[in-house]
Amino acid sequence: MSACTQAIEIRRKSDAFSERVEDFRKFFLKKAPFGVPVPELKLEHVKPAYAILDAFHHGSVEDYPSVTQITAESKQLQEAQELFELYQSDYIMLQRCSEELLYLKSLWDMGEPLNQHTWIPNGLARTHVLACPMRLWP
């Protein structure tokens, strides 16, 4: 296979991967626990949110791979793009999912000590944020 043919194949794979990332982003925005479905957070809301976050981080959700798996695939494509001196896609939608996943984890970490903190509205419909320090994902 010639270098030109290989470069074309890498570009085709990159374009297909970009479409998968866009599809994943839409799914992530739909399924990730960005809010609480009721005005007051209770302990029974925290455990399901953690399960979804864990699945998005290192499992799978409804046949979608984890952010970690997709990120590893993106790095392989970027290495191939660099090798053939092609435009390197940054897959910004994937980066946003990864960042938001960490933010959501920190947010839901704050929901654990429900009786120790005060709730303040964050301006989003039917969503509340705790006013306390955040913990990092282990």
Q: What would the pLDDT profile of 80-115 be if each residue is shown by its tens digit?
A: 999 989 998 899 999 999 999 999 998 888 766 554
For residue 135, being part of any structural domain is answered with no
For residue 67, being part of any structural domain is answered with yes
State the DSSP string of the chain: --HHHHHHHHHHHHHHHHHHHHHHHHHHHHHS--S-SSSS--HHHHHHHHHHHHHHHHSEETTEEPHHHHHHHHHHHHHHHHHTT------HHHHHHHHHHHHHHHHHHTTSSGGGS-EEE-SSTT-EEE-S------
Task: Report the number of distinct structural domains present in the chain.
Answer: 1
pLDDT recorded at residue 80:
93
pLDDT recorded at residue 3:
86
d(CA 92, CA 95): 5
- 38 is in which domain, residue-wise? 3-130
Say what the pTM is.
Answer: 0.77
For residue 34, being part of any structural domain is answered with yes
Highest mean pLDDT of the ranges 5-14, 39-48, 110-119: 5-14
For residue 37, being part of any structural domain is answered with yes
- Contact criterion met (CB below 8 Å) for 20 and 93: no
For residue 13, being part of any structural domain is answered with yes
